[in-house]
Structure formats: C-alpha cells, structure tokens
Structure 1
Amino acid sequence: MNPPCSKYGVFPDEVVLQILARLPIKSLFRSKSVCKLWYKLSSDKYFIQLYNEVSVKNPMVLVEVTELSESKSSLICVDRLRGVSEFSLDFIKDRVKVRASCNGLLCCSSIPDKGVYYICNPMTREFKLLPKTRERPVTRFYPDVEATLVGLACDLSKQKFNVVLAGYHRFFGHRPDKTFICFVFDSESNKWRKLVSLQDDHFTHMNRNQVVFVNGSLHWLTENCSCVLVLDLYLDIWRKISLPDEVIYGTGNRTYLLESDGHLSVIQISEAFMNIWVLKDYGKEEWHMVDRSLEGNVFCEEQLYPTIMVLSTCISEHTLLLSLSCVCFDRDGGA
C-alpha cells in the first residue's frame, strides 16, 4: 500500500489515478498542465488500460452535431459518469469525419482525400494513417467513391483491431452489379485482405454509420430494417440475421442497432413508445423484448436527422440529443 503522501500529492497514487480515469477527455487533457507527472499520464500504459477499463464499464454515446448554417460538425461525448463533453479531432491535422467507433477507438475518413482512413484514440490523441488498399484505379466503390460500409473491431484483451471497408464496386463507365467487395485491415500484420461476395442489400445514411461489434462480428442494419448484415471476422464470411417481425413491419419508427452486455440489441422508437430487443441466442436468432416504454413523444424525428448523427450507442444508457438538450434513458432505472 502506498504511503499517505505520494508522488501525486497528499492522496495515495491509486486514488489519484482512479479519479483521473473518470474525467471526460477534455478535462483529462486540461489536467496535464498541473504537473509533469500528470502530463505523462496520457501515454502511461497502466493509466491507459485503467481508463479503458473504466470506460468499458460505463459506455459512452458519441454524437456528431452539424449546424444547418455551417458545413462543419462537432463531436460530443455523453455518459453518466463523466457527463457531456465536446472534443475535437484537430490533432489528426486533416478534415475528417467519424465513420465507426469501438472500445475507445475511432475510425475516421478524410474529407478532402477520398480513400484515406485513420484510426485514432481521442484520449491519447494518437492516430494511425492506414495504408491504402491495392485496389486498381479502374474500379471504385459505388455510389460515392468511399466505402458504403466502414466497420471497426477493437479487441482490448489482445490490443489489436480490424478495419472493414465494404461496398459495391463498378468498373469505370459501367453500372454496378451485385459484386460486394470487402477489405479487412489487420493491425497485427498491417495488411489488408480482400473478400468478394454477392449481395443485394442497401443502406441508409444513418445505418451506414451505425455498426456494432459483437461476438467477433460486425453488424449493420439494412435499408428498411429488413435484416442485419453480419461479417464474421474469424471466418471471413457474410451472413444475415432476421429481425423481430414488429421491427420489420413497423411503420413510422426509428430503429438503432446497439450492444447490450455482449449481446446484439435493437431499439425501436416512435412518438408513442420505445421497444428494446436483445438477441439472446445468437445461433438460433432468438430475439427477446427486454423493455417497452409507453411514454409518448420520446423524440421528434425531424429534430434528430439529418443535423444530428448518433455515431455509437449503448443499451445501458441510450442518449439522444434534442436541440441543445440531452435526454437519457436508463433501462435499469427506467428513466
């Protein structure tokens, strides 16, 4: 046990570290100016691991807000432990947009340079420029050059990550066919591998930016919520998971894909109710409704989209941004 007086001050070292590990990212970087020891914390492996452990137990919601009168957007983190905080990705030295997030890492694509992707840790302000795929220049992703689907899978226990770029390709001057090209980047080998399959699914702008990493696979909602498209990163195969009938055939609802205590989840929201489903049996595709709220006017769809994009969500605390306010729903607390 550390003595009452430590190198961090009058409190034991572990107490100070536990306090700092619960700070918002912005406040954490402000604390670096206190002293040299605190300045070095953001690059200390033990503290980074501790911060990640605290974050995993208290998942945050990452929200991208775009002003109608401006072309730029801002990022806001919302979680119960650290509150609401805004942070910037200006340390990347490029204009980027967030395409995916997983376990504290963000996958960003360059706005001026199509096909350029970064992985960054906003806590340490470290980033990695991914090598470009070796795709021939005569082909490109359809319809906007960028990959239709971007996924990020981060395994904290192994300290490794995978990035997935997938979409329909077309030869220059030709219409796209059902050929679905997928590139998977492995951080351990620092290389891409290519998968080719036939798909006929389409994705809304909202669903493209909401990918969930569960059970060693990446998941995306298809257009009209007809099913969940799944990429198994161990077997390198695509599959589809059916959704509850109420989700498929429901009208006038907003549907999000979530992660709940290691399970794939779906939240369905309308002006009259909010339903939360959990995929209890992954193999048998058995969905169970775990919560149903009948409180009306949960949110107004027109306020949420397109100026606000929920980039990542968690089931324990689903947060939606309405204008300049945050509305939090806690399934355990029911409010």
Structure 2
Amino acid sequence: MDKLSSEIVIDILSRLPIKSLVRCRCVCKSWFHLTHDMHLIDTHLSISSKNEIFTGLILKSSIPIHRTCWHSKLSFVHNDGTDDYKCVNFNLSLPLLHNYEIMGSCNGLLCLFDPIVKYLTHILNPCTGEFVFLPDPIRDLEDPVSVVVGFGFLPKMNVYKVVEIVYYKREIVDDDNDDLRSNVYVYTMGDDNSWRHIGSSPYSLRGRYFSEGFVDGAVHWVSSGYDGPKLVDRIVAFDLENEVFRVIPHPDFDSGRLNYTLGVLQGCLSATRFKVQDYVEIWIMKDYGVKESWTKCLKIVCSEVGLMIGAVRPLLFQRNGEVMLQHGGTLFCYNPLTKKLRELRISGMPRSFKAFIHVGSLVSPRKLLKCESTEFA
C-alpha cells in the first residue's frame, strides 16, 4: 500500500462499506488522518448514495428504564452485497437526550430531537459516533405546545439546514378559530451557528413532529386546514434554499382525511394511501411539482396477500424488484409480480421500531459547525 499514490488509496477506500471504512481508522496514523480527508469523505458518500448495496435502515426503538422514563436506541440494518440483512446496534450515549425522535436522515447524519421534555436538537453521525448540539432557538418565554422539525442538505450551497416550526397558544382566538400561533426558525450549519426567525407558518403542521420526505431541496408534510368552509388536506413543502412554504399537488385520489403518508422512493416524493383491511396504493411523483407526473406504481390488495394491513410505510425498492415495507413493528417484502408478501426476519432486530432510510458516511457534524464535539470509539 505504501507504493500506491494517495489518489489510488482514496479510490479503493471510497468503495468500502461504512463499517469497514470506520475500521480503517485503527490501521495506522496515516489512515486515521486519511479517513478524515474531505476528498475521501465526499467520494465515499457519492458512491454510497448511488449504490443501493450501501443503503440501509436506521431503526429507532425505545426501551423502558422505569414507568415514566424511556431510553431511545439506534440500530443499523444493512446487507453486504448478498440477500442477507444484518442488524448492528449502536452503543451511543447522548448527553441530555434520552427518549428522542429522528427528524431526518441525510448524507449519513441524523437530526435527533426531544419533542416532549427539553426540545433539544442533536446532529449525529451514528457510524462514527460524532455529534453536536444545536443551540436553542430564541423562543418566547412560554412553553411551546408542539414543535415540528425538518432537516436537509443543499448541494448547490453545500450547507445543511434545520427548520423548526414552533407552536404557542394564542391569548385571543382569531377569526379563523385557530387557537395556536407559530414561529418559524432556520439554522444553517456552519454559517453563523445561530437560529434566524423568518416569520410564521401559513399552514397547520402541529402534531406532525418530523418531515415525511426530503426531496428537491424541500421538506414535506401532510397538512389539514380550511379552504373557505371546506376542510382539506394539503402536501406542504418548505423550500430550504428560499426558506418559503408552498403547496405541492397531491395525486388524483380522494384523500379520505389524512389516510395517506409521504416518503421518498427512488429519489422521488411518494404518497402511500391505504384503506384499512382492503388495500394499499403507492404513488410516485416522477417530475417534482408536476401534478400530472403522479404515477401509481403498485397496489397491494389485502385479500391477495392474506394479511389485513393498514398504515404501511414503503421504505425502498430492492434489486430483485421487491419493495420493503414497514407495518407496525415488522418489516415485509412485497413482490409485485407474484403478489406475495413475506416477513423479513433479521437477527438482533428490536421488536418495536420506526425505520428510516440511511446511507452510512464519514461526514463530520463537528466540522460542519466548526467546533469541538464528542467522538465515541
């Protein structure tokens, strides 16, 4: 290896799975410094993002410590190029953050948030163990009713942004009978390391907590609100670059009052509609923002698969053509050709969890904020 140029070494290492690449840090001092080189980090992330073999799942589960206290735990499900999946548990201890929620996964980084007690936000790389705290936004003195969070990366600007929509009780209810007011804050990592207040949200997102899909530079939620006297559902997007809200057209189906959820499939915004004990439809918006580009890519009929499924979250399409789904605390694989549904059993997987698509990387949240942080072995 000493006879190889640094460019060749980087080209070789950039093609390794993240677990092997992290182990390379223990080989010698030169490799330790090499795995912190931005060229290797960027090259590895670019290759991993395009290669579905390196795409895995982050599983967030909670275990009870005592009656009123729970502790969150992270696991990583991935394959090694074969059809066999493995589950690896992360042994992480995040200060002041115990029962948190995952607000988003982007380029190997997780945005973690405590929605109940402290309203703390962490940016974590679970594969390297590095994390940073984000300071609290400048909020009113009163406690918020709820906080909605979005997280994403803007490649043109080469920055990560976090948006928080904070809801408070109104002292006087307005003409729209809305008893809540909102403040919107944006944090640009590595900018000035501070939150900016950009106004209020024109749409009600309370109770959503995390964004349901980061696509085309925007985070998305399903919102319910009034259009005149009629109560309607909308797909609300927040453009992280221009820092504005807008409405994205939904597929041509009767929404049935929030009986669909959003996600990302094959790099596109997806909408999953379900009718309990009847069927599940998965739609993909192939041309972002264009209503006519919504395409129904598959329909799962409960009577055909022999399972009365309801709220299903599609996670990813696999190389063999199957789509991986989460139903409750179980992972399933559905084959659209044979119309068969099989449970995916993985050793070491928690009994109850919520899954997020995740690509492992060496991206350092500490370097993004240009400050010191903690790194676990």
CA distance 1:184–1:199, change in 2 (3 Å):
same
Distance in 2 between residues matched to 1:297 and 1:221, nearest whole Å: 30
Q: Who is 2:97 aligned against? A: 95
Secondary structure of the residue aligned to 1:257 is: strand
State yes or no: 1:54 paired with 2:19: no
Counterpart in the other structure of 1:233: 240
1:275 has 2:277 as partner = no
Alignment deviations for residues 146-204 of structure 1 (CA, whole Å, 9 cap, x no partner):
x1x11101235643100011132236x77773432110111223232213235453555
- Which runs of 5 or more residues in structure 2 are unaligned? 226-231, 341-377
Summarize the Cα distance change of 1:130–1:174 in structure 2 as closer, same or farther, 3 Å threshold.
farther
Q: 1:297 to 1:16 in 2, by over 3 A?
A: farther
* Alignment partners' CA distance in 2, 1:169 and 1:211: 22
Give the whole-Å Cα distance in 1 for the aligned partners of 2:126 and 2:224. 31
In structure 1, distance between residues paired with 2:224 and 2:75: 26
One-letter amino acid of the counterpart of residue 235, structure 1: N
Map 1:309-328 onto structure 2 (within 5 A): 313-314=315-316, 318-320=324-326, 326-328=331-333
Of 195, 198, 218, the residue aligned with 1:195 is: 198
2: CA distance, partners of 1:218 / 1:56: 19
What is the aligned length? 309
- Cα deviations across residues 200-220 of structure 1 (Å, max 9, x unaligned)? 53555xx53343211221101
Letter in 2 for 1:241: I
Q: 1:133 to 1:89 in 2, by over 3 A?
A: farther
Kept in 2, the 8 Å contact 1:203–1:223? The answer is: no
Relative to structure 1, the CA distance from residue 41 to residue 330 in structure 2 (aligned partners, 3 Å threshold; closer, same or farther) is farther
2:347 corresponds to: none
2-structure distance, mates of 1:244, 1:50: 37
Could you tell me how far 1:290 is from its partner in structure 2? 2.0
What amino acid is aligned across from residue 291 of structure 2 in structure 1? E
Distance 1:85 1:54, change over 3 A: farther
Give the Cα–Cα distance (whole angstroms) in 1 for the partners of residues 209 and 338 of structure 2: 30
Write the distance in 2 (CA, Å) between the matches of 1:220 and 1:73: 24
- Which amino acid in the other structure matches residue 258 of structure 1? G
Identical positions, percent: 23
SS across alignment from 1:140 = coil
Residue 255 (structure 2) pairs with residue 259 (structure 1): no
Provide the C-alpha distance between the structure 1 equivalents of 2:172 and 2:90, rounded to a whole number of angstroms: 40
Give the Å deviation of 1:250. 8.0
- Confirm or deny: 8 A CA contact 1:258 1:314 kept in the other structure: no
- Are the aligned partners of 1:118 and 1:130 in contact in 2 as well (CA < 8 Å)? yes
Give the TM-score of the pair, scaled to structure 1.
0.73
Aligned to 1:17: 13
Ranked by relative contact order (alpha carbons within 8 Å, sequence separation 6 or more), the top structure is: 2
Q: Say if 1:256 and 1:297 are closer, same or farther in 2 by CA, change over 3 A.
A: farther
The change in CA–CA distance for 1:330 and 1:126 in structure 2 (over 3 A counts) is farther
Query: Structure 1 155/198 Cα, relative in aligned 2: closer, same or farther at 3 Å?
Result: closer
The residue number in structure 1 matching 2:121 is 117
Partner of 1:296 in structure 2? 305
> Structure 1: how far apart are the matches of 2:150 and 2:22?
28
Contact conserved, 2:203 with 2:223, CA < 8 A, in 1?
A: no
Unmatched tracts of structure 1, length 5 or more: 305-309
State how far apart, in whole Å, the 2-side matches of 1:124 and 1:228 are.
35
